[in-house]
Each structure stands twice: as C-alpha cells, then as structure tokens.
Amino acid sequence: MRQSPLARLFIYASVILTCAVLLFPIYWLVVTALSQPDQLRQLPPKFWPDEPRWSVFGKILEERPILLWLGNSALAALGAVTISMVVSVLAGYSLSRFRVRGGQSLGLFILTAKMLPATLLVIPLFGIFRMTGLIGSLWSIILAHATLIIPFTTWMLKGYFDTIPRELEQAAMVDGCSPWGALVRVILPVSAPGLAATALYGFVLSWSDYAYARTFLTNAQGNWTANLGITTMKGEYISNWADISAAAILVALPILAIYLFLERYLVGGLTAGSEK
Amino acid sequence: MAGGRFSLDLARPSRQHWLGYILLAPAVLLIAAIIIYPLFVSVDLSFQNVGIARLDQPRRPFTTANYERLFTSPDFWNACWVTLKLIVIVTSACCLLGLGTALLVNNRFKGRSLARLFVAMPWAVPEVIAVVIFAWIFDSSFGLMNWIFLSLGFIDKTINWFSDPTAAFAVVATTMVWKGYPFVSIMCLAGLQSIPDDYYAAARVDGANAWQRLIHITRPNLRPVLGVTTILVMLWIFRDFSIIYVLTGGGPLKATQTLSIMTYEQAFGFFRMGYASAIGVVTLIICVIAAKLMMSRAPENL
Amino acid sequence: MAEIVIDRVRKSYGPLTVLKDFSLEVADGEFVVLVGPSGCGKSTMLKILAGLEEATSGTIRIGSREVTDLAPGDRDIAMVFQNYALYPHLTVAANMGFGLKMRGTPAETIAKRVQEAARILDVEHLLERRPRQLSGGQRQRVALGRAIVREPQAFLMDEPLSNLDAKLRVHMRAEIGALHQRLGVTTIYVTHDQIEAMTMANRIVIMRDGEIQQIADPETMFERPANLFVAGFIGSPGMNLLTAEARGGHAQLFGSAVPVPVGADGPVTIGLRPEHIAAGPGAMSFEARPVLVESLGSEKYVYFEAPEANRPPRTIARSDEDRRGERLIARLMNAGPVTVGQPVTLSFDPAKLHVFDPATGAAIR
C-alpha cells in the first residue's frame, strides 16, 4: 500500500499525540512520585520535578510493608490460579471433546458466572468463611479469586482445545493410550502455550481483585494484598501524594511488567475465542 | 499393555464418553461449592431479616420485607439510574475511543507494534492504581485538572470534584473510560486484522475512497466483534466495585452509587445483609437475562 | 490370520441412522476400499473399526478375536489419518516409536523397527526433525511409517491422500500400492475419489447414505454396476444416462432399436459409457452434432445433445466436477478432426449397454 508522505506524517503525528494523551496519567504518576512533597502543594504544577527524589522508593519500602503486600498478592494469585487451572483444564477439555448431557447448561452457567459482580458473592462467602473460620486467612481470597478465575479460564481453555484437531487423540489411542493417557501425554504438551497464556490471564484477574481482599482481610494486616495496602494508604495520606504515588508505582510494576513482556500471549488468550 | 491404565478401561468404545463426565466432576464440585451454594445462600438470606450472616445459627423466619423495602426505596431506583447512566456514557466513550485507536494503530507504519502496546497499556494498570492517579489529578486544591481548567478559562474558581455530585460522577466516568477503552481497542484491532486485505483491494479497484471503505467494508465486518465487546464492557461497568468504591465510596449524596456499590454498602457498611442480598438477587437476575441474550446472539461464546 | 469380519454394524444418533447394517468380510492381506460421496458413512465405519466410535449394534472380528468393544489400542490395528495427526511435540523418530513405547517394547527393538520403517519409506534423513519442519508428502510418509512400525494385523487409512496436491497424490498412490505388495497387510482404505478406489483396491465397497451399494472388484464394478448410483459414480467421466421405453425386448435409442434384457418393460434408464462410444460407423451408428470438443491430443471428449426421445433423466445426481448437464459425452481415441457444429458419425456396441429400472435404480440383466 503506497502512502503519500503527507498521510504518513499525519499518521505518525496522530499516533504520537494519541499515545501522549492516553498515557499521560501514567507519566503524571511518575512525576508525582518523584516530586518533593511541598512542591506538590504549589501551583502551577511542574511537568518534571526540579530535583527528582529517587530516594522516595527506598523510603516508602522501609516505611510500608510493600514487599509483604506484593508477596501476599502473589501467593494468593498462585494459589487461586493453580486450583483454577487444574479444574478448568479438565473441564475445558471435557466441554471441547465430549458431548456431555447438561454441557449446554453448564456453558450457560459459566457465561453467567463471568458476569456476576463480586459484590453479589461476597456476602454469602463472608457468611461461609465466617462459619469455617477462614476470615483473615489467605485461603479466603484464594477461594474467592477462584470464583472469579474459573469461569474465564474454562471458557478460554475450551476455545483453545477446540483448535487442536481430534485426530491427535485418536492417533494416540490407536497407538495404545487410554483417553486419559492421550490427554496427558499428547494434548497437554501440545497445549503448553495456550495453557500458559490462560494461566497468565488468571494471574492478572486474581491480582486485580479488591472487593474480596477488603472484605476478608482488612483485620489481618499481615495478609494484606497490594491493592488493599494501597487503598489504606490513600485513606490515610490525604496530603502526601508523592509517597502514595511511589507506592502505587511499585504495586503496579509486576502487572505492567507482565503486560509489557508477555502482551502477545495475554492478548492472544483474550481474542482467541472471539474472532471468527 | 498401555502404561498407566486404571482397572476401569476407559478406552473401550462403549466407555470412552465416561471420561467426559469424570473430567467435569472436579469443576462441577468446586463451582457448586464456591459459586452455586453461595448463590443459594444469597437468595436464602434475601428472604430473611438478617443483619450479619450467621450461617451456623438457625434460620430466621421467611419474609419478603427486604424486597418490599427494595422496590419502594428511592435509593434503589437511584442506584439503578446511576448504573444505567454510567453504563451508557462510559460504554459509548470506550467504544469510540477504543475503535478510534484501533483504526489508527491498524495502519502500517514503523513502530506499529510498539504503538499497539502503548495504546492499550491502561489495561495493565490495576484499578486501584488508576484511582490513585485520577484522585490526584482531580484533587480540588492542587490537582492538575483544576489548574488546566482555570488556565484555559473554562472555570473561574476551583471545582471540588469530590463534593459535587455531577463532578464526582464525571471523575468516576473518566477513570472508567481510561481503564475500559484498551479492551475495546484490543478486540477491535484483532477484528480489523482478520478482515482480508482482498476486500479493500477490490473496493479500491471499484473506486471507493477511504471513507466509503470504512463504511462499507470495515463497519459490517467489525460489527459482530464490536457487538460482543460492547456487551462485555457494559457488564464490566455493571459489576465494577474497585474504581467507584475507592474513588468516591458511592457519594457524594449517592451520586455515584451503582447497584454494586449499594449492595456492598448495605452489607458491610450498615450490616443489613438480608436487604443487601435482595439487591444482589436483583443483580443476579439481570446477569442471567444478559447471559441468555448473549448466548442467543453469539452462541460460539459458550 | 488377519481377516476382518464386520457383521451387521449399525450406527445411529438417536433417530438418525448414519450406517445401516454394514456387513463385509475381508480376507487376510486384502486391500479393500470404502468409497462414496461425503456423508455416506465410510469414515464412520472406519472409526468404528478402529474403536474410536461405538457401534449401535453389530459385531466386528479382527483375526480370530471379537473386538467390538475393545479399546483401539487393543485391536492390533494401525491408522493413517487425513491430516497426518503427527505429534507436534515429538521428533519423527519418537512419533514413529510412540505406539511401541506405549506397549512397553524395549528401546533397542523400537530403534531397530523405526530405522527399518524409515528406510522403507525413505525418511531416514528426517528422523530427528519435528513434524512442522516437514512437507506434506514427508508428513504423510512419516504417518505411514508410524503405522508400519507397529506391525499390526490391519491398516486403516482415512483419506490419507486428500490433503496432497494432485501430482503428489498420484505418486503416493503408487507408493501405498507398492507398500501393500511388499508387506501384504490387510488394509481398509477410505476415500471419496473413485480413481483411488479403482487403481488401488482388490475389492471396492461403494456406499451412499449409510448403505452399501455394491461390493466388487474394480473390473466387475466397472463392467457390471449394480445400480444407477454405482454406474454414475465409477468411471471418469461417468456413464452417460438416457431414458427410453422398453417394449417386447427392445427400446429405441438414437433412432434405432436396441435389444434390452427380458425383464425390462416400460420406461427404463439406459447407460452407455463415454469409452464405449467410437468414432465412425459400427454395430449401431448414429449422427451427433458436437456442442463442445475437448482435445487432449489422441484423446477427445466430445459433448453432444441426446435425441429428444432419449433425453437424460433430470433426477440423476452427479458430482460437482461433472459439468455435462443434459449432454452426453463420448471419449474418442485417435479419431479424426471433430469440430463444433459439424455432425459426426458415432457408434457403439449394444452389448455394452446397461439397463436400469428408473424407479429403483437397480440394474436389469
């Protein structure tokens, strides 16, 4: 496609302008974090601090247990994703390959489950976890996150398995595998990229939860997840935006890193089922 | 013979489909325990006069008082209205912005994959972090927004974004649009890239200009993707909790209190879990209707 | 002994029956081809034979064992698939050895047999590669190698050549034929291509809508098709079909009376293969005005209109590639120049006619 130089210039300019505007909030976060706190109480705001305070990150890591928060988020995500993946891989495979009675209804249910607000399930789960003594434990949010993740990962995995030809299992069975053996020895190794992408998406889902963390973990400071920790900082620090911005950057870093390096896989998982 | 078989030979033709049920069992059991059972509990609670849910104690007597209160409560209808407003406004903005950025990034230029990455980056920012960013930008005393508006002469005194109902709604909407448009952008981009180049080549040969190509080729081919995406965005706004709760808590004066927020408030702010569950059940019914609609329109989405 | 006996196998999905009472006896070492249009049930039958689908009723014996409800891996069969179904995560050598590995065969035996099979199929230089690095033809050979390594009692092949381009297909046809000569393993081969059936089979089973139409060796099927469907399906281009009225042992065809079998009376469908029409005068001659001439050098396909009285029946189902419509085709060898619009004299031997009952489609002899 030949493009006139004018068109190319226009496109480049538009792209740069659009990216600048849309990513400005992230830039502003960085600027705020690096600014001196009293500088933030003055107008006009500076678009780059005179003396960027790089030490703010060290300071905030000492003052706040940010690494503990991140660790808890990671732990919860790990637990939730492991449980969810085991269950969804089996279920997704079953829905893809077998005509199960009630499979249609299960499909409809999973679709509905994807749309449920966390605020709906949080009430009964609160009651249940209260009764079983799980309030305050990471297990409460591991299970709660599983309710978020399983509907998505099951659907994604079913779609992914649909793209693998059935002849592969059939060949394995003729070669002497049981249907289970065919799944484990042939289909799973072949699906590794799809499984990884799905697990990654589940990880992001777990990480982004706030509702469950707030409800179940508020009184267990040692188990606070990153999202919960940040919001308590916002609650307290009505004035020290530099500190909270620095903390926010640290909390956002893991997911942003995952996004920047693995975007291809994440996006692939998102769009795989929907484009025809 | 075949290694690792258990005595139940599932490889026999008459038994091969058993594996289908066996594989579903863990999922069904787990989902029953952590989703279906809680939903039943929720419905159950909605018919009781319950403050804090104590499941180990005997049930309270059956009553429809929660629902009666619900449907006569101005707060409930306000929440419905706020939810609707938010859905319409944010979805439209997300779709426009998402489609626009997708169309822009779909062109061929150097650095295109980088642009794609950047344009969708807000998706990767956790919602509470987005809240931190915009809470500061819209800070009434020293926030960027007030300064920009003042400098450009839009206003002559600072807006207190979080005390004014309309302003607070705007902040919530803006934050949600910023977080929501990347998803539309990603989906539309995938959809755009699946349109074969031949269509455009044929249209060019027929003399169509850029605008005509957009209307007659891009739009019809993109419509299914856009349709599905729109519904998904609406559902996300419908159930969102983090952004609104941390940003405004549902205020001021319930100007940003969606159904989701109201449910939570009633349950964990006022400890009226029976009443909150009733709101939750109404929410559930709306979700089921939406799911059925989606299934009939686009069955391949499971 | 690896003969296969299929006894009244039937497959239904609820009220829909896709395979109706299929019975067949295959001798040890025979190469049987199941052929028919898409949806005729041939692949279903093969999958039931393999144990990948369950028969609704009926029994199957391979060798001396009844295998009807035996796992695919226990039937001592090997299968070759249309899209090769090679394990993408394994090397070619591992692909070929997979079946033996599943059966606990010692590693040296596996290596030896894989090497031997690779030599036979000329893929030795590919043993350490992955399937995605191979061409279509190479993949198909590896798939064949995977099958022969197992030294099974029977080979099942599900349209193995359909994904190859035309030239490769011709080549692989010969290779599979040669392989069968060499190894002598009982083979059941499924295809929709009647040329493959005719060139490769000891016997052909032609199917339609779940029912067997005829079982015969290729020559018999060509010379004595059992019904209209078989007549039209076998042969390329297919048989010409015309309508006529039979009375007292004769019918009018191209203006002359031709003898018809005694059982024929009333409206009949008469079949005449393009190959059985010759240029110039002969036993029964007629004039034809060509509407299209396709010349392949010494061979000419001449399309012409049937006489009014013998217009071909409208209800005949032809394959998509058959473009003749209501015209007739003659295949003339070494004929002189034939031009469109110029009447030519054509002739045929009435003994080569086939007569069918238009109502049932069955041949009348």
State pLDDT tens for residues A176-190: 998 999 999 999 999
Q: How far apart are CA B144 and CA B134, in angstroms?
A: 10
Is pLDDT above 70 for A95?
yes
Q: A155, A178, A203, A262: best mutation site toward chain B, by most B Cβ within 10 Å?
A: A178
CB nearest C73 (choices: A168, A176, A186) = A176
Q: Mean pLDDT, to the nearest integer, of C82-97?
A: 93
What pLDDT does B3 receive? 47
**Reported pTM:** 0.87
Counting residues of chain A whose pLDDT is more than 90, the rounded percentage is 45
* Inter-chain touch A170–C72, beta carbons under 8 Å: yes
Task: Kindly report the backbone phi and psi dihedral angles of residue B29, in degrees, each rounded to the nearest multiple of 5, phi listed first.
Answer: -65, -45
Q: How far apart are CA B73 and CA B278, in angstroms?
A: 12
State which residue of chain C sits closest to A165, comparing Cα positions. Answer: C85
* Inter-chain touch A171–C79, beta carbons under 8 Å: yes
Q: Distance (Å) from the C-alpha of residue A262 to the closest C-alpha of chain C? A: 22
Q: Mean pLDDT, to the nearest integer, of A52-69?
A: 88
CB nearest A22 (choices: B20, B122, B183) = B122
Range from A126-140, A229-243, B46-60 that averages highest in pLDDT: A126-140
DSSP string, B217-232: IIHHHHHHHHHHHHHH
* Inter-chain touch B14–C104, beta carbons under 8 Å: no
CB nearest C52 (choices: A173, A186, A190) = A173
Q: Tell me whether C71 touches chain A (CB under 8 Å).
A: yes
Res. B1 pLDDT band, cuts 50 70 90 = very low
Q: Mean pLDDT, to the nearest integer, of B138-156?
A: 84
B9 CB neighbours in chain C (<8 A) are 71
Look at strands C77-80 and C154-158 and give their pairing: parallel
Q: Distance (Å) from the C-alpha of residue B133 to the closest C-alpha of chain A? A: 6
Q: Tell me whether C249 touches chain A (CB under 8 Å).
A: no
Q: Mean pLDDT, to the nearest integer, of C329-355?
A: 88
Q: Distance (Å) from the C-alpha of residue C289 to the closest C-alpha of chain B? A: 42
C70 CB neighbours in chain B (<8 A) are 12
Is pLDDT above 70 for A2?
no
CB nearest B241 (choices: A117, A147, A158) = A117
Give me the domains of chain B, ranges plus CATH numbers.
Answer: 60-301 (1.10.3720.10)
Could you give the angle at the alpha carbon of B63 between the alpha carbons of B59 and B67, nearest 5°?
Answer: 125
Burial, A51: exposed, middle or buried (Cβ in 10 Å; 0-12, 13-18, 19+)?
exposed
CB nearest A190 (choices: C51, C82, C88) = C88
Res. A145 pLDDT band, cuts 50 70 90 = very high
Res. C319 pLDDT band, cuts 50 70 90 = low
Res. C317 pLDDT band, cuts 50 70 90 = low
DSSP string, chain A: ----HHHHHHHHHHHHHHHHHHHHHHHHHHHHHHS-TTGGGSSSPPSS-SS--TTHHHHHHHHS-HHHHHHHHHHHHHHHHHHHHHHHHHHHHHHHH---TTHHHHHHHHHHHHH--HHHHHHHHHHHHHHTT-TTSHHHHHHHHHHHHHHHHHHHHHHHHHTS-THHHHHHHHTT--HHHHIIIIIHHHTHHHHHHHHHHHHHHHHT--HHHHHHHTT-GGG--HHHHHHHHHHH-SS-HHHHHHHHHHHHHHHHHHHHHHHHHHHHHHHHTT--
* Inter-chain touch A175–C52, beta carbons under 8 Å: no
CB nearest A146 (choices: B24, B34, B128) = B34
Is pLDDT above 70 for C1?
no
Is pLDDT above 70 for C315?
no
Dump pLDDT digits (tens) for C233-277: 888 888 888 888 888 888 888 888 888 888 778 888 889 999 999
| Cβ neighbours, 10 Å, residue C287 | 12
What pLDDT does C157 receive? 96
* Inter-chain touch A126–B267, beta carbons under 8 Å: yes
* Inter-chain touch C71–B3, beta carbons under 8 Å: no
What pLDDT does A276 receive? 29
What pLDDT does C113 receive? 93
Place of tokens 């519904």: B231
* Inter-chain touch B1–A176, beta carbons under 8 Å: yes
* Inter-chain touch B123–A11, beta carbons under 8 Å: no
Q: Which of the other chains make 3 or more beta carbon contacts under 8 angstroms with chain C? A: A, B
Is pLDDT above 90 for B96?
yes
* Inter-chain touch B101–A22, beta carbons under 8 Å: yes
Take residue C78 and report the two structure tokens written for it. Answer: 């090997």
Could you give the angle at the alpha carbon of C230 between the alpha carbons of C224 and C233, nearest 5°?
Answer: 120
A195 CB neighbours in chain C (<8 A) are none
Give me the domains of chain A, ranges plus CATH numbers.
Answer: 5-54 (no CATH), 62-272 (1.10.3720.10)
CB nearest B1 (choices: C48, C54, C74) = C74
CB-CB contact of C71 with B9 (8 Å):
yes
Q: Distance (Å) from the C-alpha of residue C54 to the closest C-alpha of chain B? A: 5
Chain B residues within 8 A (CB-CB) of chain C?
Answer: 1-3, 9, 11-14, 16
Interface A-B, measured as beta-carbon pairs within 8 A, has a size of: 317
Counting residues of chain C whose pLDDT is more than 70, the rounded percentage is 97
* Inter-chain touch A178–B31, beta carbons under 8 Å: no
Q: How far apart are CA B245 and CA B260, in angstroms?
A: 9
Q: How far apart are CA C320 and CA C318, in angstroms?
A: 7
Q: Which of the other chains make 3 or more beta carbon contacts under 8 angstroms with chain A? A: B, C
Q: How far apart are CA A191 and CA A161, in angstroms?
A: 8
Is pLDDT above 90 for A237?
no
What pLDDT does A39 receive? 80
C4-13 β-sheet, strand order: C16-26, C4-13, C57-62, C65-66
Dump pLDDT digits (tens) for C67-85: 999 999 999 999 999 998 9
* Inter-chain touch A171–C89, beta carbons under 8 Å: no
Is ipTM strictly over 0.90? no
Take residue A102 and report the two structure tokens written for it. Answer: 């009630």
Is pLDDT above 80 for B167?
yes
CATH classification of C237-356 is 2.40.30.330, yes or no? Answer: no
CB nearest B53 (choices: A44, A123, A245) = A123
Dump pLDDT digits (tens) for B186-243: 899 888 888 888 888 888 888 888 888 888 888 888 888 888 888 889 989 998 999 9
What is the rounded average pLDDT for all residues in chain A? 87
CB nearest A126 (choices: B53, B181, B294) = B53
Res. C182 pLDDT band, cuts 50 70 90 = very high
Q: How far is CA A199 from the centre of its chain?
A: 10
B267 CB neighbours in chain A (<8 A) are 119, 122-123, 126
| Cβ neighbours, 10 Å, residue C176 | 22
Is pLDDT above 50 for B302?
no
- Residue A154's nearest CA partner among A81, A76, A93, A82 is A93
Q: Mean pLDDT, to the nearest integer, of B59-63?
A: 83
| Cβ neighbours, 10 Å, residue C310 | 20
Take residue B170 and report the two structure tokens written for it. Answer: 């705007």
Domain boundaries, chain C: 4-223, 237-356
Q: How far apart are CA A88 and CA A225, in angstroms?
A: 25
CATH classification of C4-223 is 1.10.3720.10, yes or no? Answer: no
What pLDDT does C201 receive? 94
Q: Distance (Å) from the C-alpha of residue B265 to the closest C-alpha of chain A? A: 10
Counting residues of chain B whose pLDDT is more than 90, the rounded percentage is 39
Q: C54, C100, C102, C155: best mutation site toward chain A, by most A Cβ within 10 Å?
A: C102
Greatest Cα-to-Cα distance within chain A, rounded to the nearest angstrom: 76
Is pLDDT above 50 for B2?
no
State which residue of chain B sits closest to C54, comparing Cα positions. Answer: B13
C69 CB neighbours in chain B (<8 A) are 12-14
B16 CB neighbours in chain C (<8 A) are 54
Dump pLDDT digits (tens) for C15-61: 999 999 999 999 999 999 999 998 899 999 999 999 999 999 999 99
Q: Tell me whether C74 touches chain B (CB under 8 Å).
A: yes
Is pLDDT above 90 for A25?
yes
Is pLDDT above 60 for A151?
yes
What pLDDT does C318 receive? 61
Q: How far is CA B13 from CA C14, C70, C337, in A?
A: 17, 7, 61
Is pLDDT above 70 for C212?
yes
Q: Distance (Å) from the C-alpha of residue A258 to the closest C-alpha of chain B? A: 8
* Inter-chain touch A171–C85, beta carbons under 8 Å: yes
Q: Mean pLDDT, to the nearest integer, of B286-301?
A: 72
Take residue C161 and report the two structure tokens written for it. Answer: 């050549």
Counting residues of chain C whose pLDDT is more than 90, the rounded percentage is 56
